[in-house]
């Protein structure tokens, strides 16, 4: 399927309706797309980003349908294989020059996707004339690899941003706004690079594009919507929310979680509760964008944190959410080294630890009171931050 983005600019990428996992980790409940853009200048033709190699036939047949007989330049905005993997098939067919940042070219050479004689590095601010249209390359490293560039098509006020401002969403709509999938995507991919994202956002705003064309998910023809959302998500602000990822083996940790959830709600605090035996980790990641506090609930599993909670802690440590406070609740049968082990899994996080509540067996009345005191302490900390 080919779609016209604006005059002489075509979406020739692939919608991956069926993919359900990215990076062998991230759930894709709504699929994804690999957006590739063909720009037909009066003198030269350029293609921005290719597609995942498993969808290369879609890209090639779209180019056939457009009767493209030459591509002078392939702009590789980012070397990750979901955008670069099909470049070698374009080289075989069209023999283009492949342009990217110095780092991107190095990676493409390392991956065996291009050869040195085909590749050329471009620098920040460099222009490339296609005849009646001009591409400007903008260095945008660390959203989320060191190699990323954006490409600005001046005459159409269209900015191509590769992974940045994208979403994992398979949709027939060329332009659409889906807050949930965009936020999930931000949390999963961009949140660890919040400071860089904020910096690049300013540069995007300064360009004031009419269209933003990422390389995953729908495009933005009202860029202010996604830019405002990103300004919110990348800010240091947190909300009066507690995220509670938990596991329970015999029900005692779940009793503690239920008591805490009720106590927090009683105190006017929003709660997002995730049973990790059932949770979609993309939803958990998205919840971490705004929360002021995370409370992990775990039983002792051979004295240590349950592996599913250890997994959530490692994930949080990688995603680097903005949360200010954390605590741990849970139970054990005959021995526990939960707290220190769990803390050791999150060295990147600067969260202040509020006194954990770890009990032997099922929680007794005193233990439930300790849970209420934990809720009181969370309330006090949130009030100190002015969150309620």
- The count of residues interacting with ligand FEO (CB under 6 A) is 7
83 forms part of the interface with ligand FEO (CB under 6 A): yes
Residue number, 16 or 241, with CB nearest to ligand FEO = 16
Residue 56: CB minimum distance to ligand FEO, A: 15
Residues 6+ apart with CB under 8 A from 176: 169, 218
Residue number, 36 or 158, with CB nearest to ligand FEO = 36
Residue number closest to ligand FEO, CB atom: 80
DSSP bridge partners of 213:
160
Give CA–CA dist 236/373, Å, rounded. 27
Site for ligand FEO in 126-155 (CB under 6 A): 144
Rounded to the nearest 10 degrees, the angle between the axes of helix 56-65 and helix 87-94 is 40
78 forms part of the interface with ligand FEO (CB under 6 A): yes
Find the part of the chain contacting ligand FEO (CB under 6 A) among 35-43, 79-87, 291-299, 365-373.
Answer: 79-87
Residues 6+ apart with CB under 8 A from 297: 244, 245, 246, 247, 248, 253, 254, 256, 257, 260, 309, 328, 329, 330
241 forms part of the interface with ligand FEO (CB under 6 A): no
184 forms part of the interface with ligand FEO (CB under 6 A): no
Find the part of the chain contacting ligand FEO (CB under 6 A) among 6-14, 77-85, 306-314, 344-352.
Answer: 77-85
118 forms part of the interface with ligand FEO (CB under 6 A): no
Residue number, 144 or 382, with CB nearest to ligand FEO = 144
Find the part of the chain contacting ligand FEO (CB under 6 A) among 74-82, 108-116, 218-226, 309-317.
Answer: 74-82
Look up residue 184 and give its DSSP letter: H
Residue 163's SS3 state is coil
Give CA–CA dist 157/131, Å, rounded. 16
| Alpha-helical segments (H) within the chain | 56-65, 81-84, 87-94, 102-110, 179-185, 194-207, 223-233, 252-266, 281-287, 307-319, 338-344, 365-384
- Secondary-structure percent of the chain, ordered helix, strand, coil, rounded to 5: 35, 25, 35
Give CA–CA dist 149/146, Å, rounded. 9
Residue 228: CB minimum distance to ligand FEO, A: 23
Residue number, 151 or 279, with CB nearest to ligand FEO = 151
163 forms part of the interface with ligand FEO (CB under 6 A): yes
82 forms part of the interface with ligand FEO (CB under 6 A): yes
Give CA–CA dist 122/22, Å, rounded. 29
Q: Show the site string, 195-224: x = touches ligand FEO by CB under 6 A, - = not.
A: ---------------------x--------
Residue 111: CB minimum distance to ligand FEO, A: 13
Where do contacts with ligand FEO occur on this chain (CB under 6 A)? 78, 80, 82-83, 144, 163, 216
């Amino acid at each position: 399927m080919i779609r016209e983005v604006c005059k002489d600019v075509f979406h020739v990428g692939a919608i991956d309706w069926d993919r359900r996992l990215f990076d062998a980790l991230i759930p894709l409940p709504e699929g994804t797309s690999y957006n590739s853009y063909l720009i037909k200048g009066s003198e030269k033709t350029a293609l921005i980003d290719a597609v995942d190699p498993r969808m290369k036939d879609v890209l090639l047949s779209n180019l056939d349908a457009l009767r493209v007989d030459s591509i002078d330049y392939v702009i590789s905005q980012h070397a990750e294989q979901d955008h670069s993997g099909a470049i070698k098939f374009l080289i075989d067919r069209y023999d283009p020059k492949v342009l990217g940042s110095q780092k991107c070219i190095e990676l493409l050479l390392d991956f065996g996707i291009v050869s040195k004689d085909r590749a050329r590095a471009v620098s920040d601010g460099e222009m490339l004339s296609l005849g009646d249209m001009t591409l400007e390359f903008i260095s945008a490293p660390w959203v989320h690899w060191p190699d990323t560039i954006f490409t600005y098509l001046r005459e159409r006020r269209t900015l191509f941003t590769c992974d940045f401002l994208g979403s994992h969403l398979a949709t027939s709509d060329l332009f659409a706004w889906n807050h949930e999938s965009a936020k999930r995507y931000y949390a999963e991919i961009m949140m660890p690079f919040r400071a860089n994202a904020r910096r690049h956002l300013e540069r995007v705003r300064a360009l004031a594009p009419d269209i933003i064309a990422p390389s995953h998910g729908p495009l933005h023809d009202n860029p202010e919507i996604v830019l405002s959302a990103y300004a919110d998500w990348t800010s240091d602000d947190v909300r009066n929310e507690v995220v509670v990822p938990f596991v329970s083996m015999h029900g005692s940790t779940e009793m503690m979680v239920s008591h805490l959830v009720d106590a927090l709600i009683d105190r006017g605090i929003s709660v997002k509760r995730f049973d990790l035996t059932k949770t979609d980790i993309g939803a958990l990641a998205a919840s971490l964008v705004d929360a002021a506090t995370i409370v992990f609930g775990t039983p002792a599993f051979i004295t240590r944190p349950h592996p599913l909670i250890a997994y959530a802690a490692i994930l949080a440590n990688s995603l680097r959410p903005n949360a200010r406070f954390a605590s741990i609740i849970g139970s054990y049968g005959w021995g526990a080294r939960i707290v220190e082990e769990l803390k050791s899994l999150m060295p990147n996080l600067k969260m202040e630890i509020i006194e954990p509540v770890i009990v032997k067996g099922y929680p007794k009345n005193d233990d439930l009171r300790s849970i209420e005191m934990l809720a009181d302490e969370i309330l006090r900390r949130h009030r100190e931050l002015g969150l309620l």
